[in-house]
Amino acid sequence: MKLENDPDLNNKYQLICGVDEAGRGPLAGPVFAACVVFGEKSYIEGLTDSKKLSEKKRDELAVIIKQNAKAWAVASASVMEIDRLNILQASLLAMKRAVMRLPFTPVLVLIDGTHSPQLDCAVRTVIKGDSLIPEISAASILAKTARDAEMQNWHHHYPLYGFNQHKGYPTKKHIEALQRYGVTPIHRQSFSPVKKQLKKYDDAV
């Protein structure tokens, strides 16, 4: 990665960290975030926004990223934290937790999007950074694969909801299952479809 008009940071390339999250849109499950720092010679072909990759390709790249990164970390914010803080603030909390798990403080943290957590280092937001900057692309892949694995695990606890397929996103199948079987402990009660289902319970009492 090159940062135009910033030669000092380019010289400290190995301490630049990319951060992204996964799971802001789902009705259920935690929100995850990951951060990745590459070494000067690290190059991984095929890195891009995780949403543009197949599940198989994401899983393959996640292994390669972990093997080749100078450092990486994954963290999450719980459903309770999402409902208490709101999804944006919970996403920023997960990002901060991920960066704080690194074994060193980066020179610069580059974050996908327009919002960033408060960190004890320089921070920049990058619109569409997950498609433009390798470190952020790698972070998006680690966050997505970690969250998908978490939802696969929840599928074993709640097999009627199809979490292994839609990963908690508001698909037609998920909405139908929510209406038929009700709200689980991993559903985000502050999200409208879940809130509507809870209201039906209250109205029925």
* Contact yes or no for 138/69 (Cβ under 8 A): yes
The reported pTM is 0.90
* Contact yes or no for 28/187 (Cβ under 8 A): yes
pLDDT in tens, 12-54: 455 899 999 999 999 999 999 999 999 776 778 999 989 999 9
Rounded Cα gap, residues 60 and 54, in angstroms: 10
Q: Which phi and psi (to 5°) does residue 198 adopt?
A: -65, -35
pLDDT in tens, 133-181: 999 999 999 999 999 999 999 999 999 999 999 999 999 999 999 999 9
| 3-state class (DSSP) for residue 166 | helix
* Contact yes or no for 32/76 (Cβ under 8 A): yes
Rounded Cα gap, residues 72 and 141, in angstroms: 12
| 3-state class (DSSP) for residue 119 | coil
pLDDT in tens, 113-124: 999 999 999 999
Q: Which domains are assigned to the chain? A: 7-204 (3.30.420.10)
Q: Which of 188, 169, 172, 189 is nearest to 180 (CA)?
A: 172
